[in-house]
Amino acid sequence: MLLSRQWLFSRTGCATLFTLASAASVGSALGFEHIGGYIPCALCLLQRIPYYVSLPVGLVAIAASAFGAPSWLSRTLLVILGLIMIVSAGLGVYHAGVEWHFWEGPAGCSGNLSSSTTNAANLLDDLNAIKPPSCSEASLRILGLSFAGWNVIASAFLASLAFFGARRNA
């Protein structure tokens, strides 16, 4: 059975679960943006980069583990994935701290999105005038956590999963 306990806790299973969860995390962020209409700030976009990097690395880790590559290769790829997610968690902590006003955010991260285009001739001028939302204001909080806070939780879980998988014998 594909989803047996033994397979799920194997390196292949951990790499697969990591890659699927990583895709779901960045997919939900894209869904909130494109379906829900939540415009991401500059730090939100920055937090997506580790997920974009982890997806192809995760696919290679799955292939390396599933197709019998040397054990050190799949272990190394899982450690790299764990380190990528630690960076992602750090970015999330930084962004959440900016939102809670524990520290200042980047200087170019405090715009407003208050422009509407009604004239096609002014489209380029309007695009130059539109600024993304401020990084210091959470656009939505779910159970008290902003998207940045949830990114910290997701990244910590994914890092733990990757390191757990790297320690597995098979």
Other Cβ atoms closer than 10 A to 128: 9
- For residue 47, the model assigns a pLDDT of 92
What is the C-alpha to C-alpha distance for residues 170 and 168, in angstroms, rounded to an integer?
6
Tell me the mean pLDDT in the region 126-141: 67
Question: In this predicted structure, what is the pLDDT of residue 114?
Answer: 46
Q: Are 55 and 23 in contact (CB under 8 A)?
A: yes
Q: Which of 18-27, 35-44, 133-142 has the highest mean pLDDT?
A: 18-27
Rounded to whole angstroms, how far apart are CA atoms 54 and 168?
20
Write the pLDDT tens digit of every residue in 62-74.
999 888 888 899 8
Delimit the domains of the chain by residue range.
Answer: 7-107+123-167
d(CA 18, CA 58): 7
Q: What is the mean pLDDT of residues 104-115?
A: 63
pTM of the complete model: 0.79
C-alpha distances in Å from residue 70, one per residue of 26, 62, 67, 81, 169: 30, 13, 9, 17, 12
- Higher pLDDT residue, 137 or 94? 94
